[in-house]
Amino acid sequence: MVNQTATNLLRIQSLGVKKIVVNGLQPLGCLPETTASSSFQKCNSTFNDLVLLHNNLLNQAVTKLNQETKNQTTFIVLDLYDSFLSVLNHPSSNNIKDALEPCCVGISSQYFCGSVDENNVKKYKVCDNPKSAFFWDLLHPTQAGWLAVYNELQTTKALQQIRY
């Protein structure tokens, strides 16, 4: 996957793009889909270790591309992993409660957020305060979740490089 990403980055560069940002993976072991087995209490370290391996390989590939292209194009990796973990490890500082629990869930295992039956009756429920939830469903952050991640990214070198 990383090799294909590097190939794709070079293809984009060949179109004349001078600055390209590619995001690393967020901690997939912290997705509600993964944390459900621990009643949304802890992240899956095995999944997160695999993500760290992927992100490390991606960083190596991007560093190599930056060296090979000799400033023709700047390739930047956006570190979502650390930003997500920072928010998930300190949810209250972002007014987030139950950081690993989804806000919108199906009413049983056969349904998911947004499911309706043949009579258009909702088969899901939404939490009382989505603004205090980090995850919307089993995979996606809420608007509040993304805002908290964005605020964390504000302090990173990568985001500063993107601006200039």
pLDDT at 154: 87
Q: Is residue 53 part of a domain?
A: yes
Nearest to 156 by CA among 85, 101, 90, 108: 85
Q: What is the mean pLDDT of residues 60-76?
A: 90
The whole-chain average pLDDT of the chain stands at 92
Q: Is residue 164 part of a domain?
A: no
Q: Which domain holds residue 103?
A: 2-154
User: 74-115: per-residue pLDDT in tens?
Assistant: 899 999 999 999 999 999 998 999 899 999 999 988 899 999
Q: Is residue 68 part of a domain?
A: yes
Task: Identify the band that residue 160 occupies on the pLDDT scale cut at 50, 70 and 90.
Answer: low
Q: Is residue 63 part of a domain?
A: yes
Nearest to 141 by CA among 108, 102, 90, 106: 102
Q: Is residue 98 part of a domain?
A: yes
Owner of token pair 């560069």: 13
Q: Is residue 27 part of a domain?
A: yes
Domain count, the chain: 1
